[in-house]
Amino acid sequence: MRGRGGPRDRKSELRTAALKRRRSIGKAELAELSSRVEANLVALDEYRRARLLISYCAKDDEVQTRPIIERALAEGKRVAVVSTDVRTLRLGFSEIASFEDDLAPGAFGILEPRRDRLRPVSIAEADLVLVPLVAWDERGHRLGYGAGYFDRALAGTDVLKVGLALESQRLPDVPESRHDVPLDVIVTDRRVVRPPRG
């Protein structure tokens, strides 16, 4: 029998514990914490300068992104939203004009750009990408859901990678895998973390 304890096993254990912790947060508390994350995000110079940002649509227990998307649109920014191709395990990005009109439930029941309203954009066009996570550490490493969608999409790009996080999701150390792409900035409900690079 193969021994346990490799990076994949460790990630799986950490992911299970982190998701359990996150799902214990009540709806009202999550809304308040998400509002604090939004306030810290929009105070960033990089956000203020951004002309095109890419965002995911949040699950019920993630930092909520609808207010961020709607705010960016109201400010005249271009916003593209993530879509998931479960067959190829790849992400696509499509510009939206309205959260209400241009999105519908897609893969995993998460809101995605409607197929009849696709306006594809390249990730290379974006000024910043908002990245979901299950857990994070001070070095900018994130624990995702395990399928590697965002790591594949972000690999080799120069776009600013911004993780939206709760302070309670922080871990002392997230195990690294070869394909992992670190975050440039982590925005939490309490602060902005800029991991050292180089």
Domain membership of residue 73 (yes or no) is: yes
pTM of the model: 0.92
Q: What is the pLDDT of residue 198?
A: 62
Q: Bigger pLDDT: 198 or 113? A: 113
Contact 193, 139 (CB under 8 A): no
39-47 long-range contacts (CB < 8 A, ≥24 apart) are 40/187, 40/188, 40/189, 40/190, 40/191, 40/192, 41/68, 41/130, 41/162, 41/164, 41/187, 42/68, 42/71, 44/162, 44/185, 44/187, 44/192, 46/127, 46/128, 46/160, 46/162, 46/185, 47/128
Q: What is the pLDDT of residue 197?
A: 77
User: For the residues 61-72, what does the mean pLDDT come to?
Assistant: 97
On the question of pLDDT at 10 being above 90, the answer is no
Domain membership of residue 127 (yes or no) is: yes
Extract the tokens encoding 9: 């096993």
| pLDDT tens-digit readout, 133-166 | 999 999 999 999 878 899 999 999 999 999 999 9
Which residue type does 90 have? R
Q: Which domain does 129 fall in, by range?
A: 7-193
7 pLDDT tier (thresholds 50, 70, 90): low
Domain membership of residue 84 (yes or no) is: yes
Distance in angstroms (rounded) separating the CA atoms of residues 140 and 50:
21
Distances (CA, A) of 133 to 15, 20, 61, 173: 10, 14, 11, 14
> Which residues contact residue 17 at a Cβ distance below 8 angstroms, ignoring those fewer than 6 apart?
none
Domain membership of residue 70 (yes or no) is: yes
Domain membership of residue 1 (yes or no) is: no
On the question of pLDDT at 34 being above 70, the answer is yes
Q: What is the pLDDT of residue 108?
A: 83
Domain at 103, CATH number: 3.40.50.10420
Q: What is the pLDDT of residue 117?
A: 92
Helix orientation angle between 66-74 and 27-42, rounded to the nearest 10 degrees? 40
Q: What is the pLDDT of residue 3?
A: 42
Total structural domains within the chain? 1
| pLDDT tens-digit readout, 166-193 | 999 999 999 988 889 999 999 999 999 9
Strand intervals (E) in the chain: 52-55, 78-85, 90-96, 103-105, 111-113, 128-131, 135-136, 142-143, 160-164, 185-187, 192-193
Lowest mean pLDDT among 29-38, 105-114, 116-125: 105-114
Domain membership of residue 2 (yes or no) is: no
Domain membership of residue 41 (yes or no) is: yes
